[in-house]
Amino acid sequence: MSTPRTTPLPRTTSAISALLLALAGTVSYSLAAPAPAYAASTTLEAEAAGLSGGAVVQREHTGYTGTGYVGGFTDANKGRASTTYSVQSAYAGTGSVKVRYANGTGSAKTLTLSAGGVTVRQVTLPATSNWSTWSTAEIPHAFTKGTNTIALTFTAGDSGNVNLDNLSATTPDAEQPGDPSVIQAESAGLSGGAVVQREHAGYTGTGYVGGFTDGNKGRASLSTSVQSAYDGAGTVTVRYANGTGSNKTLTLSMGGATTQVTLPATSGWSTWSTTAVPVSYAKGTNTVALTFTSSDSGNVNIDHLTAATPAGPGDPGGPGEPAPGGVGATLPFTTYEAEAGRTNATPIGPDRTYLTPASEASGRKAVKLTRTGDYVEFTLTKPANAINLRYSLPDSSDGRGIDASLSVYADGQALPDLPLTSRYAWVYGNYPYTNSPGEGKGHRFFDETRLSLGRTLPANTVLRLQKDAADTAASYTVDLLEAEETGAVGTLPSGYVSARNLGVTPNDNQDDTSALNTALERAKSQGAGLWLPAGTYTISDHINLSGVKLRGAGVWHTVLRGTGLKGGLLGRGGTSTVEDLMIDGQNTVRDDAGGHAAIEGDFGTNSVIRNVWIQHTKVGLWITAPTDGLKAADLRIRNTYADGVNLRGNVRNTVVSNSSIRGTGDDGMAMWSDPDSVSDSAFRNNTIQLPTLANGAAIYGGSGNSIENNLISDTVTSAAGVAVSTRFGVPFSGTTTVSGNVLRRTGSMELNWNAKLGAVWVYADVHPITTPVIITGNTVADSTHSGLLVSYLKNVADLRVSSTTIDTTGHHGIEINASGKGTFTGVTVRATAGEPLNAAGGFTVQRGSGNSGW
């Protein structure tokens, strides 16, 4: 596990007879001036409202606010009891209605919310532990300008049997443009018998579209238009109800392409679900239609469509998917960005300003939950039995962090709470940083935690993260969620001996370092590898690897947990294999002299490191001479205090590939030719996100090295997306290649120099760069500063740039502040804030064919 678990908060209830409720009735409320949107709310005590239909003020149970509460929502008044109130709103837009209630029945109950006489949705009121314990349910609500008549009713379809303490309404304080990605079906173009209806509850907006009946087969259709800033892959998500009891279909068409969309049955016509459809967007206007064709089974209702368009040129499409042409890692999980989810909470960003939480969030956006009832939710596009959350909690006043829970629901049913902590986040002051808040400059806001759900959630499950009353942190900033199917726990493979049989016991909270080292030597003497069964193994020092095989039961099942700043795997030569496990350090600060890397040292010849999850360590992989032929792949490296991967010195023929690297405190990946050259090595098809203090991927000197087909995004500070540099190490020799990479929102300020670093940075600092540097087939999208920066003190003799696109920059397209020479062929530059080409310093630009925009 990535963080220590806190005890899940109880969701138990007391089954107290519903006869304790009073007689049913009607409660009327009148709200005066509107409250600011999500800033303040007006609270009305139920006992002060107008009551009718038998509703009465009661004081039998404690814990209410004001002078009493309203009871009377009993079975005897089912279909009649209703609370009605009038809300004045100065603006049209989204706000919320919050109900404070008690439900001591032992099970969730429901009432129905309506507006202007039209049913909006059924509201679930989970059980409270007794009748004197109160909770709140907050319902997002679309207000109209002026008077809004809102009712909460015990309808024939509800279970009622609750008490009401008060109602709060929060109305918008300004005109809201709405979310352009959500298209209400009732506002679309309708034809062939498709009509707006309001018979069933639970829809958003002002209604839903029905009429997809057998009588309209081959005709009924809704159509709308979607604007996309870029060409590329995306999705259209359909929110629908299907109360027929069996799967139904409609056909979605866009840009000449059609897809038959399967819409699984929902539990009733007032229960809504979603399904996501992959589509290809064209830049500009896209016409989307949903039609009951002659080959469909129809008979569904449509609430709205949500359009997820490409976020930028060269966009990798759907969350968690590889970029075009196989760029980036192929990952076992699907990523759901918080800002793309549904929420009633506060979006933050986009913002790239250093020392702001948004600057460290994926896509520079996140969602902040601050109020009880705040949530963000996602519709799963694939089945999942485990999740990993990237989040931020506040720090404690002493810098040691806080622990808190966050509630999780699947289709409204509570799952185990997520245990969160901020002890591995937040550092302060200047490099190398401390845990002392008094030094200011707080950053490193985010951490990650993971949770096995105990069951597999099918595709189209709505997964909600919600701040409940028992979730006590002042705020929860949600960046992204990853969901996956973890697979079965691994069993003893052929050629391995179990560590249990060699005296190593997991989960005993004892230091296993010595026992593991002994077991590895014993397994090696038997000509076998050492297998670590599922469980947690505590290590306080290095586990020595010298021509051995070490394998776990899977990254979700076998955990090596460090203590303090120590604990990791140390290569001591020979051919070794490490696979199928997690290394979870306990580092809370960077200590270059004393801290351990997760995996470090000499890995001899042709070693393999595969399927390893690393977090909370000083470094992920620190590979040293004379390693030759190492293959490292399928890694997840998260939240290290220094580099994610560093190849240092005489490391040869080494490839690190298909790995996810995020939230590093230095270079995401680096080849550091010090004191000798790294040679003939490659970083290939990796996904690198959010490095701080240094680059996404960097080559510092050396010979014949390459950075190929990586997806690199959101560099935070003092960082380029890709750097080719002589700032450290020996000079370059041979040819250095940067090819096929997609860089998104990369480049940043180097605050010590007050310098704007480009997305791609060729930096001749300590030594000139005299050998060829080939930059080819790359896409630079939405660079913070210049797309390509060539600098500074020394000569760059042979730069070759080809087949590269620079699209949208915050500074120049190509910026050159060095002497030397370069050839440019097939280079496209567009949408620059500064000059397409800004060249100084005596650099000779040789233009080949196929260039445009500069």
Rounded distance, CA 101 to CA 87, Å?
Answer: 20
Q: Which residues of 346-379 are buried (b: 16+ CB within 10 A; e: fewer)?
A: eebbeebebeebbbbbbbbbbbbbebbbbbbbbb
Q: How confident is the model at residue 181 (pLDDT cuts 50, 70, 90)?
A: low
Give me the chain's average pLDDT, please.
Answer: 88
How many CA atoms, within 13 angstroms, populate the side-chain half-sphere of residue 719? 34
- Section 734-750 average pLDDT: 95
For 214, phi then psi, to 5°, come to: -60, -30
- Section 105-133 average pLDDT: 81
Q: Which of 447, 449, 392 is nearest to 416 (CA)?
A: 449
- Section 320-342 average pLDDT: 80
Q: Look at residue 173 and tell me whether its pLDDT is greater than 70.
A: no
Strands 366-369, 476-484: pairing kind: antiparallel
Q: Which of 171, 33, 32 is nearest to 93 (CA)?
A: 171
DSSP bridge partners of 415 = 408
Q: How confident is the model at residue 311 (pLDDT cuts 50, 70, 90)?
A: low
Q: Look at residue 551 and tell me whether its pLDDT is greater than 80.
A: yes
User: The dihedral of CA 699, 701, 702, 704: what is its sign?
Assistant: positive
CA–CA distance from 438 to each of 402, 435, 445, 611, 649 (Å)? 17, 9, 16, 40, 38
Per residue in 571-626, pLDDT (tens digit) is: 999 999 999 999 999 999 999 888 899 999 999 999 999 999 999 999 999 999 99
The single residue listed with the structure tokens 């989810």 is 341
Q: Look at residue 413 and tell me whether its pLDDT is greater than 50.
A: yes
Q: What is the pLDDT of residue 647?
A: 98
What would the two tokens of residue 779 be?
A: 């896409």
Q: What is the pLDDT of residue 314?
A: 39
Q: What is the pLDDT of residue 156?
A: 86
Q: What is the pLDDT of residue 96?
A: 78
Q: What is the pLDDT of residue 47?
A: 82
CA–CA distance from 231 to each of 184, 235, 486, 853 (Å)? 24, 13, 33, 19
Rounded distance, CA 558 to CA 292, Å?
Answer: 50
CA–CA distance from 31 to each of 27, 34, 43, 143, 428 (Å)? 13, 8, 9, 13, 46
C-beta of residue 788 within 8 angstroms of C-beta of residue 758:
yes
Lowest mean pLDDT among 3-7, 80-84, 180-184, 777-781: 3-7
Provide the 10 A C-beta neighbour count for residue 266.
20
Lowest mean pLDDT among 78-92, 176-190, 214-228, 472-486: 176-190
Q: What is the pLDDT of residue 124?
A: 81
DSSP at 346: E
Query: DSSP readout, 84-153?
Result: EEEEEESS-EEEEEEEEEE-TTSS-EEEEEEETTEEEEEEEEPPPSSTT--EEEEEEEEEPSEEEEEEEE
Rounded distance, CA 167 to CA 144, Å?
Answer: 19
Helix (H) or strand (E) holding 525: helix 513-525
Per residue in 125-136, pLDDT (tens digit) is: 899 999 999 998
**Angle, CA of 329, 332 and 337, to the nearest 5°:** 80
Q: Look at residue 21 and tell me whether its pLDDT is greater than 70.
A: no
- Section 368-372 average pLDDT: 96
Q: What is the pLDDT of residue 41?
A: 64
Rounded distance, CA 461 to CA 473, Å?
Answer: 27
Q: Look at residue 715 and tell me whether its pLDDT is greater than 70.
A: yes
pTM equals: 0.67
Q: Look at residue 782 and tell me whether its pLDDT is greater than 90.
A: yes
- Section 677-682 average pLDDT: 97
Rounded distance, CA 667 to CA 808, Å?
Answer: 24
User: The dihedral of CA 229, 233, 237, 238: what is its sign?
Assistant: positive
Rounded distance, CA 632 to CA 630, Å?
Answer: 6
Q: What is the pLDDT of residue 87?
A: 78
Q: What is the pLDDT of residue 97?
A: 81
Rounded distance, CA 353 to CA 50, Å?
Answer: 51
CA–CA distance from 194 to each of 198, 201, 208, 249, 353 (Å)? 13, 18, 10, 15, 48
Q: How confident is the model at residue 318 (pLDDT cuts 50, 70, 90)?
A: very low
- Section 228-246 average pLDDT: 83
Lowest mean pLDDT among 702-711, 750-759, 822-831: 750-759
- Section 647-653 average pLDDT: 97
Q: What is the pLDDT of residue 180?
A: 45
- Section 220-241 average pLDDT: 83
The single residue listed with the structure tokens 């450290």 is 728
